[in-house]
Amino acid sequence: MSKIGLIDYGMGNIHSVKKAIENLEEDVLLIKSKFQISSCKALIIPGQGAFDPAIDNLNRTGLIDEINKWIRSGKSFMGICLGLQILFEESEEGNKRGIGIIKGKIKKIPTIKNQRLPHIGWCKLIPSKDSKLLCKEESNKWVYFDHSYFASPNDESFVSASVEYGHINLTAIIEKENLIACQFHPEKSGNIGQSLLHRWLKTI
User: Measured at the alpha carbon of residue 79, what is the angle toward residues 75 and 84, in degrees to the nearest 5?
Assistant: 130
pLDDT of residue 1: 55
Q: What is the pLDDT of residues 141-153, one digit of tens each?
A: 999 999 999 999 9
How confident is the model over 15-23, as a mean pLDDT? 96
Taken in order of first residue, the domains within the chain and their CATH numbers are: 3-203 (3.40.50.880)
CA 167, 102, 169 angle in degrees (round to 5)? 10
Residue 50 is predicted with a pLDDT of 93
Residues labelled catalytic: 81, 185, 187
Q: What is the mean pLDDT of residues 176-197?
A: 96
Helix 51-61 with 64-72: angle, nearest 10 deg: 90
d(CA 190, CA 94): 31
Q: H or E element: which one contains 124? A: strand 119-127
Residue 132's nearest CA partner among 169, 99, 161, 163 is: 161
